[in-house]
Amino acid sequence: MDGVVTSMQLTRSPAWVALEKHKKEMASLHMRSLFERDPGRFRRFSLSSCDILLDYSKNRITEQTMALLFALARDADVEGWRERMFRGERINVTEDRAVLHVALRNRGNRPILVGGKDVMPAVNSVLGRIAAFVARVRSGEWRGYSGKRIRSVVNIGIGGSDLGPVMVCEALRPYGRDSGLQMHFMSNIDGSHVQEILDQVDPETTLFIVSSKSFSTQETLTNALSCRRWFLDSGAGEAAIARHFVSVSANVEAAQRFGILPDNVFGFWDWVGGRYSLWSAIGLPIALYIGMERFEELLAGAHQMDEHFRTTPLEQNMPVIMALLGIWYNDFFGAQSHAILPYDHYLHRLTAYLQQAEMESNGKRVQRNGEPVDYDTCPVIWGEPGTNGQHAYFQLLHQGTRLVPADFIAPLESYHHLGEHHAILLSNFFGQTRALMWGKNAAEVRAELAAAGMQGEELEALVPHKVLPGNRPSNTLLIPKLTPRTLGSLLALYEHKIFVQGVIWRVDSFDQWGVEFGKQVAGEILPDLQGSGPVEKYDSSTNGLIGFYLEHSARKG
């Protein structure tokens, strides 16, 4: 199952060794010279699919580089692993589960089997239930206990049950304006987050969605119980809970004990990973906000990218190319981070969403077979929307000592035609990728300063400060407009990029045992915070911190 290179260390494979040698040959080559030598470079290193243009010409690559990277992908059996995923095989090896977020948006309804059973009838059944519920809420047929329409929706979740829905609702805000709904997303266990949201909503007109597969996630259940108490304290009776609380969960019995009717529990399956779950019933707040028809357009866009990824040869495969470029910088140039830079205000939560998608998936130190890796895996993902970032951290991108590859993402068309705003936005978008690649050498700086009237020692003293080395790599992704369909394609593009990188690094991209351990330790400490101390069972730092907290609590009490 581990592909062609199972019998040897990845770093000793012929493809890896060839890339290490090639990197030494490329180290002193500047992208300026690549563009000067090849007027057709943009055409050679760009492609379009699913309404996305990917320009990867501003990378430190040649055709030989790409050929060696495709050889690495084939050595890792990317095509075989891709087929295993789409067939429903249990490629999440540590949890013995299939990985089938692609089934959730399988608009062609091609049979996908898990354990010999086609999952599509169940997927379609849940979608039908979501559609019926969304229609009732948006039409006003579903009303609160006092007969008033639902005006606010509070999604209570964390991680994948929060980051995906909030990101999509923010991204598609122009489509939600006619819903008549105010969307709120409660995720942090911090009581301040809970109270800030409750202060904005009316118990008679608020619908709460409790999103937890197990209905036991500590943060989600604690927040949900606080909302339940707040709701009952408003004067509503226990029976009214059924009109104001629904759930997305696999644990119908626990939801029912909470007061949620079984018909209002929307299920999903163990082959849906949290960070890949917005396509499932976890997307209920999205469907409520933008409508079911547009939610299905989101699914359709993702399915279109799924088919591109599944059927297109590696050399023209957008997720594969982006994955390989990331490995090129991460493992051969020592780049420790990767910036995601959307030039669209509505995509301001995209980077936070991709932080979980990438770092929770591929932030691993052992291979699928349990052996430690001897190479770097996932880089740190970070970034903010342009142009704000240009006035913050772009200085480091241009002149810092670290190599930071970046993805620049923008729509060609805005929803708001305010004078020259969008043209100015795109001029910065195109200008930054040009400046990062091209740079400014000492001769150009001298000529610029001389033209401004500077000369002599004053000029020479300033030259090194104004030199920009350039040769900083970036990908440019352009979409016609940010619509449900194009957003679906964009998100699926990144999902499959993550998958390909995980295959090549030979990690299980679909578990998260580090996250689970952190929860376990927190669970051990909580009873100590509710006691009187002293605590001596942990390390001296943890004991001391708990003691400091208990002393403070005793003084306040």
Q: Which one-letter amino acid corresponds to residue 444?
A: E
Is residue 293 among the annotated active site residues? no
Q: What percent of the chain has pLDDT over 90?
A: 96
> What end-to-end distance do the CA atoms of the chain give, in Å?
59
Is residue 496 among the annotated active site residues? no
Q: Which of 202, 226, 227 is CA-nearest to residue 149? A: 202
pLDDT for position 264: 97
Alpha-carbon span 355 to 21, nearest angstrom: 31
pLDDT for position 7: 52
**Which of the following is catalytic: 213, 360, 495, 496?**
360
Is residue 141 among the annotated active site residues? no
| pLDDT one-digit tens code per residue, 436-465 | 999 999 999 999 999 999 999 999 999 999
Q: Does domain 513-556 have CATH number 3.90.1150.10?
A: no
Q: With cut-offs at 50, 70 and 90, classify the pLDDT of residue 248.
A: very high
pLDDT for position 555: 86
114-296 maps to which CATH number? 3.40.50.10490
pLDDT for position 61: 98
| Range with the poorest average pLDDT among 73-77, 205-209, 513-517 | 513-517
pLDDT for position 3: 45
- Beta-carbon count within 10 A of 417 CB: 8
Q: How many helices (H) and strands (E) does the chain have?
A: 25, 13
Q: Indicate if the pLDDT at residue 422 is higher than 60.
A: yes
| pLDDT one-digit tens code per residue, 86-98 | 999 999 999 999 9
What is the residue whose two structure tokens read 């090849």? 38
Q: Which of 153, 142, 149 is CA-nearest to residue 287? A: 153
Name the average pLDDT for the chain.
96
Q: Record the tokens describing residue 405, joined without a space.
A: 């590859």
Alpha-carbon span 330 to 501, nearest angstrom: 11
| pLDDT one-digit tens code per residue, 481-507 | 999 999 999 999 999 999 999 999 999
| pLDDT one-digit tens code per residue, 155-182 | 999 999 999 999 999 999 999 999 999 9
In order of 55, 241, 304, 313, 320, the CA distances from 491 in angstroms are 17, 35, 11, 20, 14
| Contact call for residues 118 and 109 (beta carbons, < 8 A) | no
Q: Residue range 230-248: average pLDDT?
A: 97
| pLDDT one-digit tens code per residue, 188-204 | 999 999 999 999 999 99
pLDDT for position 1: 41
- Domain segments of the chain: what residues? 10-75+312-438+472-505, 114-296, 513-556
pLDDT for position 519: 87
| Contact call for residues 342 and 348 (beta carbons, < 8 A) | yes
Q: What percent of the chain has pLDDT over 70?
A: 99
Q: Record the tokens describing residue 339, joined without a space.
A: 């910036």
Q: Does domain 10-75+312-438+472-505 have CATH number 3.40.50.10490?
A: yes
Contacts of 356 (CB under 8 A, 6+ apart): 159, 160, 163, 275
Contacts of 3 (CB under 8 A, 6+ apart): 75, 76, 77, 80, 81, 503, 506
**Which of the following is catalytic: 391, 416, 417, 556?**
391
Alpha-carbon span 127 to 371, nearest angstrom: 41
| Contact call for residues 323 and 494 (beta carbons, < 8 A) | no
User: String of b and e for 53-76 (b: at least 16 CB within 10 Å)?
Assistant: ebbbbbbbbbeebbebbbbbbebb
Same fold, 10-75+312-438+472-505 and 114-296: yes
Classify residue 48 by its DSSP letter. E
| Contact call for residues 368 and 2 (beta carbons, < 8 A) | yes
**Which of the following is catalytic: 421, 519, 537, 552?**
519
